Amino acid sequence: MSKIMALAKKELYSYSISPVLYGITVFFLLFVSIWLFYYQHFFAMDSANLRIFFAAFPLAFIMVIPAITMKSWAEERKLGSIELLLTMPFSDWDLVLGKFIASFTVVAGILVLTLPVPLSLLPLGNFDSGVIAGEYVGALLLAASSVALGLLLSCLSKNQAGAFLGIAVVLLVITLISQVTQSFNLPLPLSEALNFISLAFHFETFSKGIIDTRDLAFFILTTLLFLFLNTRVLLFRKWR
pLDDT digits (tens, 9 = 90+) for 194-232: 888 888 888 888 877 778 888 999 999 999 999 999 988
Task: Quote the pLDDT of residue 239.
Answer: 53
Element (H, E) at 88: none
The SS3 assignment for 36 reads helix
CB 131 within 8 A of CB 52: no
pLDDT at 77 over 90: no
Helices (H), 17-91: 19-34, 42-45, 51-54, 56-79, 81-87
Q: Which of 27, 56, 31, 60 is nearest to 146 (CA)?
A: 60
Report CA-CA distances (Å) from 25 to 29, 105, 117, 200: 6, 13, 15, 21
Write the pLDDT tens digit of every residue in 131-183. Answer: 888 889 999 999 999 999 999 998 888 788 888 899 999 999 998 887 777 77
Average pLDDT over residues 79-86: 67
Percent of the chain with pLDDT over 90: 35
Q: Evaluate the CA torsion angle 217, 220, 224, 225 in order and state its sign.
A: positive
Q: What is the Cβ-side half-sphere exposure of residue 60, based on CA atoms within 13 angstroms?
A: 26
Q: Which of 23, 49, 25 is nearest to 36 (CA)?
A: 49
Write the pLDDT tens digit of every residue in 89-122. Answer: 778 888 889 999 999 999 999 999 999 988 888 8
* Domain region containing 54: 2-239
Task: Quote the pLDDT of residue 5.
Answer: 86
CA distance 73 to 38: 37
Most confident of 47-56, 79-88, 210-219: 210-219
pLDDT at 68 over 70: yes
Average pLDDT over residues 21-39: 90
Residues 6+ apart with CB under 8 A from 57: 32, 139, 142, 203
Q: How many domains does the chain divide into?
A: 1
